[in-house]
């Protein structure tokens, strides 16, 4: 069995992982989440330094209010996939004798992923998160990935004027000038695609794309195509 750790760190980012063996029978129970969180912070400190000044950690308790419904729908889909996989495995077992299978592959350790959001002067920087996966039983850092700011990007942020010339009220007025609410219908559940519910959809009829952001200095609006198929008639 191969035991491997890897560490790469350059101007664009960092990636490391460990597949040191895990034997669940040796552990009574998972480590406390606070202890795992501490290890994640300590490891990220080694990677980036001054982690508390650069990052804000995601609160694991900030749950999506719709998460339960989404999970139920996903569970239904997973059950269907499991049934298909079991059927395929049965067919494979007939084609390949059991003694030909490789049973030496160890089960991976379950992990908890901690997400750290990069901030600069109180502003969150999109696409510059750090993700640290910590083994629930061993506390081993199983994987860590970080996207770095280049020196040029950091210098550009330092020179950026973060005081907006456009007020929040003016931005809201611009938004509500363009937005319309249209009555439409949506599938209630993936498990019951024939069942619909009525809902109001946000629409920007002048542009066809949703308003993504408004430049706080120039007032320029950026639109984005969400790719969502909707039926409003």
Average pLDDT, the chain: 80
* pLDDT tops 80 at residue 123: yes
Could you give the angle at the alpha carbon of 118 between the alpha carbons of 174 and 225, nearest 5°? 40
Least confident residue range of 30-39, 70-79, 156-165, 171-180 = 70-79
Please report the pLDDT score of residue 222 as a whole number.
87
* Average pLDDT, integer, range 160-168: 88
* Average pLDDT, integer, range 144-149: 92
* pLDDT tops 80 at residue 134: yes
Please report the pLDDT score of residue 36 as a whole number.
96
* Average pLDDT, integer, range 161-189: 86
* pLDDT tops 50 at residue 231: no
Q: What is the pLDDT of residues 26-44, one digit of tens each?
A: 888 999 999 999 999 999 9
* Average pLDDT, integer, range 172-178: 87
- For the chain, what are the domain ranges? 5-63+102-158, 67-95, 168-224
Task: Quickly list DSSP for 118-139.
Answer: EEETTEEPTT--EEEEEETTT-
Can you say whether the dihedral through the CA atoms of 61, 77, 143, 105 is positive or negative?
Answer: positive
Confidence band for 67, pLDDT divided at 50, 70 and 90: very low
Can you say whether the dihedral through the CA atoms of 202, 208, 209, 214 is positive or negative?
Answer: negative
* pLDDT tops 90 at residue 115: yes
Least confident residue range of 72-81, 113-122, 217-226 = 72-81
Closest by CA to 232, choosing from 197, 206, 200, 210, is 200
* Average pLDDT, integer, range 186-197: 81
3-class secondary-structure state, position 95? helix
């Amino acid at each position: 069995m191969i035991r491997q750790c890897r560490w790469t760190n350059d101007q664009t980012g960092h990636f490391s992982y460990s597949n040191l063996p895990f034997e669940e029978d040796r552990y009574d129970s998972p480590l406390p989440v606070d202890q795992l969180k501490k290890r994640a912070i300590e490891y990220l400190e080694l990677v980036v330094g001054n982690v508390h000044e650069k990052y804000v950690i995601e609160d694991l308790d900030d749950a999506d209010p719709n998460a339960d419904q989404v999970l139920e729908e996903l569970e239904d889909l997973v059950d269907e996939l499991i049934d298909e996989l079991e059927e395929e495995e049965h067919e494979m077992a007939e084609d390949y004798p059991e003694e030909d299978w490789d049973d030496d592959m160890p089960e991976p350790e379950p992990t908890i992923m901690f997400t750290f959001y990069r901030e600069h002067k109180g502003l969150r920087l999109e696409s510059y998160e750090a993700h640290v996966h910590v083994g629930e039983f061993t506390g081993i850092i199983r994987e860590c990935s970080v996207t770095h700011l280049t020196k040029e990007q950091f210098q550009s942020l330092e020179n950026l004027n973060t005081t907006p010339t456009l007020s929040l009220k003016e931005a809201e007025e611009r938004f509500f000038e363009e937005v319309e609410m249209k009555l439409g219908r949506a599938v209630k559940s993936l498990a019951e695609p024939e069942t619909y519910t009525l809902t109001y959809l946000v629409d920007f009829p002048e542009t066809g794309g949703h308003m993504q952001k408004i430049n706080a200095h120039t007032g320029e609006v950026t639109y984005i195509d969400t790719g969502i198929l909707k039926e409003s008639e």
